[in-house]
């Protein structure tokens, strides 16, 4: 027991700890350089259990090293001061981790918010359509299937169960083509033909013939193919050669999942549009999203003018191996949402900044999203203007600045190295402004920080450590300890 105490407070243990930590950090920097991913490196090193263990090791080592010297003499003073400084810094960091706040607000010029999100946290947020807009959040722990615990229970009878969690997935916003059918609002879905495995086919099949917009007869074709342009040309040929050509709408999905819509009129006119599977070009939301979202296409023919067709927008995902650059991963949570007797299964991709679409569940009674944890601030921050000032005649920035209005009255400008601190200790930093070009509406990322321990632990600790090191240097440094 006694020898264990002595070892834990010994210089051997100290050097072992120092060198192991140094080696881990070295590994971390090289992993980060290779993968260009700070989080990947952190996952294996700084955030690992071993690293936490090493920090505790330091704590014990420093403490025991001091206790071993009991009763203290005058010559121990520099040693004690240095190590006290270290303990204070360590303690300050731990307290900030548990009681402090480190969040981000993303604000467009002109917008306002009193919510910060904590980057890299995972939560499910669900809201109702009541006038008060009740919001409930669930903390989501990765890889732990089962019932989620609400942070504050605000909606009665609501239970959310995590069914699956995928660290990375390909997320598609599906418009016209979903699964094996093609959807146009108002008419029954029609089948999709896959041309990729049917190279020899001579005539491309028509899936359905319908009457659109009252009295217009239209042929509908839906295909999966590798080259939509080529297919569109073949359909054109078919049209010209046909004895009785029909107005035709062709939906062709390419390998990337994007859908191309070609419309053929009787007189040989063709118009085309592309619908991206990652970013919708047009979007209608019904009932603020509670009744879902839709994508529309305008079909313009000289014979009938411009007519619109519409399809509901849904989301789908395919789990794929996780990337080394963890920052680029899009995790997906598959959830079972239950309220009373009603239940629905939904899969949600992670919305990194909490600004994307929220999806309706249980017949549009709730909106749900998978996003970082949001925290309410005592302040409301409005971004009036954000700007980047360059050195004249160059694109090298001289200053980044943002004009903020706090709680609707106080106006402050923050810039790099120039922070706003509220009376209750919340500090606002300008972290980023995008995009850089002149004229565009800018978005500023503002980091909000609250550190209750820094003035009585971290900063004084740093000062004490510095004094300790100077004292150690000043007092007798050239002799071996006898």
Partner 1 sequence: MHTHLKTNTILSFLLLLILITQIATASQLADAPSSYQGRIRPTHVYAQQWLQEIYQKPSIKNIHLNQFPTELATPLQLLWHLHFQGTKAVQNSPLFAIRQSTLKQALSLDPKQEHFSYNQLCKTLTTNSMKSDDKVTANELASLQQKLNSFQLINERPDNSYEKTFLELKGKNLSNQEIAQQLEQQHPLDKRLAQAGTLFRLLPSRKKQGEWLSLHALKTKVYDSTTHSLIPAGNFTRFPDSSFQKIRQAYVKLEQSYVTDIRHIEEQFAELEFLLIEAYRPLIDLPFLQAEGKQLRYPSESQLYAETLYFRYPWIEATIACYLVALLLFLAATTLTSRLLPIAGAVLALGMILHTSLLALRIFILARPPVSNMFETILYVPWIGMILGFVLWSYSRQKLPILTATIASVILLLLLKVTQINIGLENVQAVLDSQYWLIIHVLMVVGSYGAFILCSLLAHQYLYHHLRNHTTKLDELAKAILQTMYIGTALLIPGTILGGIWAAESWGRFWDWDPKESWAFISACTYVAVIHLYRFRVVGDRGLAIGAVAGGLVISFTWYGVNYILGTGLHSYGFGSGGEGYYLAFVAAELLVIASTCILYKKLI
Min CB(117)–partner 1 separation in Å = 14
Residue from the set 7, 29, 110, 179 that interacts with partner 1 by CB under 8 A: 29
Per-residue contact string for residues 96-135; x = within reach of partner 1 by CB under 8 A: x-----x---------------------------------
Q: Is residue 94 within the footprint of partner 1 (CB under 8 A)?
A: no
Helices first, then strands: H and E counts in the chain:
7, 27
Q: How many residues bind partner 1 (CB under 8 A)?
A: 65
Residues 395-434 that bind partner 1 (CB under 8 A): 396-401, 413-419, 427, 429, 431
Tell me the Ramachandran region of residue 50: left when phi exceeds 0, alpha when psi lies from -120 to 50, beta otherwise: alpha
Q: Which of 8, 14, 84, 210 binds partner 1 (CB under 8 A)?
A: 14
Which 8-state DSSP code applies to residue 148?
Answer: P
Least distance CB 230 / partner 1 (angstroms): 26
Secondary structure (DSSP) of 261-320? EEEE-TTS-EEEEEE-SSS-SS-EESGGGTT-EEEEEEEEETTTEEEEEEEEEEEEEEE-
Longest Cα–Cα distance in the chain: 108
Applying CB under 8 A, does 193 fall inside the site for partner 1?
no
User: What span, in angstroms and rounded, lies between the C-alpha atoms of 434 and 400?
Assistant: 10
Helical H segments across 182-280, by residue range: 228-241
The window from 135-143, 190-198, 267-275, 468-476 that contacts partner 1 (CB under 8 A) reads 468-476
Q: Strand, helix or coil at 481?
A: coil
Beta carbons within 8 Å of 112's beta carbon, 6+ residues apart = 380, 381, 382, 383
- The answer to the question of residue 445 lying near partner 1 (CB under 8 A) is no
Measured between alpha carbons, how far is 235 from 205 in angstroms, rounded to an integer?
Answer: 10
- How far apart are CB 323 and partner 1 at their closest, in Å? 16
Question: Does 50 participate in binding partner 1 (rule CB under 8 A)?
Answer: no
Note whether 469 binds partner 1 by CB under 8 A: yes
Taking the least distance from each CB to partner 1, the nearer of 276 and 379 is 379
What whole-number distance in Å separates Cα of residue 17 and Cα of residue 10? 11
Beta-sheet strand order (sheet of 146-147): 146-147, 158-166, 332-339, 342-349
Residue 462 found at the interface with partner 1 (CB under 8 A): yes
In the complex, least distance from residue 413 CB atom to partner 1, rounded to whole angstroms: 5
CB of 482 to partner 1, least distance (A): 8
Distance between CA atoms of residues 95 and 459, nearest Å: 13
Least Å from the CB of residue 322 to partner 1: 20
**Does position 19 bind partner 1 by CB under 8 A?**
yes
Residue 45 or 207 with smaller CB distance to partner 1: 45
> Which lies closer to partner 1 via its Cβ, residue 321 or residue 392?
392
Contact between 286 and partner 1 per CB under 8 A: no
Give dist(CA 69, CA 412) in Å, integer.
52
Residues that bind partner 1 (CB under 8 A): 11-12, 14-15, 18-19, 21-22, 25-26, 28-30, 32-33, 36, 38, 41-42, 45-46, 89, 93, 96, 102, 389-394, 396-401, 413-419, 427, 429, 431, 447-449, 451, 454, 458-459, 462, 465-466, 469-470, 472-473, 477-478, 480-481
């Amino acid at each position: 027991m006694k020898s264990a105490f002595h070892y834990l407070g010994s210089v051997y243990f100290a050097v072992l700890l120092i060198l192991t930590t140094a080696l881990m950090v070295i590994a971390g920097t090289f992993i980060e350089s290779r993968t260009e991913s700070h989080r990947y490196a952190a996952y294996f090193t700084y955030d690992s259990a071993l690293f936490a263990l090493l920090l505790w090791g330091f704590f014990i080592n420093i403490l025991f090293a001091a206790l071993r010297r009991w009763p203290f003499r005058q010559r121990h003073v520099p040693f004690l001061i240095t190590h006290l400084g270290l303990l204070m810094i360590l303690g300050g960091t731990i307290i900030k981790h548990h009681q402090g706040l480190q969040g981000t607000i993303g604000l467009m010029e002109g917008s306002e918010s009193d919510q910060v999100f904590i980057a890299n946290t995972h939560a499910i947020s669900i809201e109702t359509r009541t006038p008060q807009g009740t919001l409930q959040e669930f903390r989501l722990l990765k890889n732990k299937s089962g019932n989620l615990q609400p942070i504050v229970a605000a909606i009665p009878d609501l239970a959310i169960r995590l069914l699956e969690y995928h660290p990375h997935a390909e997320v598609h916003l599906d418009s016209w083509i979903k699964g094996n059918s093609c959807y146009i609002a108002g008419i029954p879905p029609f089948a999709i033909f896959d041309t990729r495995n049917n190279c020899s086919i001579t005539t491309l099949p028509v899936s359905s013939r319908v009457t659109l917009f009252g009295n217009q007869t239209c042929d509908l074709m839906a295909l999966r193919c590798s080259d939509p342009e080529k297919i569109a040309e073949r359909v054109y040929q078919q049209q010209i050669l046909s004895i009785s050509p029909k107005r035709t709408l062709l939906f062709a999905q390419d390998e990337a999942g994007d859908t191309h819509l070609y419309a053929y009129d009787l007189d040989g006119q063709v118009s085309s549009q592309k619908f991206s599977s990652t970013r919708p070009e047009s979007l209608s939301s019904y009932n603020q999203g509670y009744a879902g979202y839709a994508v529309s296409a305008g079909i313009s023919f000289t014979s009938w003018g411009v007519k619109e067709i519409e399809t509901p927008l849904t989301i789908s995902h395919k789990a794929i191996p996780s990337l080394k650059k963890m920052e680029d991963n899009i995790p997906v949570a598959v959830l079972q949402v239950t309220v009373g007797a009603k239940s629905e299964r939904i899969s949600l991709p992670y919305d990194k900044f909490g600004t994307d679409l929220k999806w309706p569940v249980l017949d549009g009674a709730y909106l749900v999203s998978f996003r970082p944890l949001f925290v309410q601030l005592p302040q409301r921050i409005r971004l009036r203007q954000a700007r980047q000032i360059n050195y004249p005649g160059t694109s090298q920035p001289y200053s980044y600045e943002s004009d903020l209005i706090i709680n609707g009255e106080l106006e402050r400008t923050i810039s790099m190295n120039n922070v706003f601190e509220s009376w209750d200790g919340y500090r606002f930093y300008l972290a980023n402004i995008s995009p850089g070009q002149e004229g565009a509406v800018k978005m500023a990322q503002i980091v909000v920080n609250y550190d209750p321990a820094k003035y009585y632990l971290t900063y004084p600790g740093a000062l004490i450590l510095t004094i300790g090191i100077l004292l150690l240097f000043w007092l007798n440094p050239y002799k071996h300890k006898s």
